[in-house]
Amino acid sequence: MTASPAGGPGGTSEPEGLPLRHRDARDRFGQPDEWQGSVNDPRTYEEHGLRYNEKWIYYLAGGEKRLVYWYRYACRGVLREAADGSVSPEPL
């Protein structure tokens, strides 16, 4: 699935995120293998129903990926993507 632009920053209020900070994510999962975007970039994207401006990608065993989505510094979601492309929320 390709991320699609979702417009600008969307006003002055920031969406609420999960109780996971960048430091917490790095401590728990390590450094991402790849990332796209930046929390400081005003462009936003939407993928798997989540609006974000930075995505961390971790390559896991068996062709799976862990996807961590950020909007500014708020974590918007952590998903596990199976080798077949299906996704499910990863419990935190």
**Total structural domains in the chain?**
1
Q: Which of the four pLDDT bands, split at 50, 70 and 90, describes residue 92?
A: confident
- Per-residue model confidence as pLDDT tens digits over 39-91: 888 899 999 999 999 999 999 999 999 999 999 889 999 999 999 999 999 98
User: Position of tokens 């991402």?
Assistant: 32
pTM: 0.80
Give me the domain span that covers residue 26. Answer: 17-89
Residue 23 within a domain: yes
Residue 6 within a domain: no
Residue 74 within a domain: yes
Residue 2 within a domain: no
Residue 4 within a domain: no
Residue 9 within a domain: no
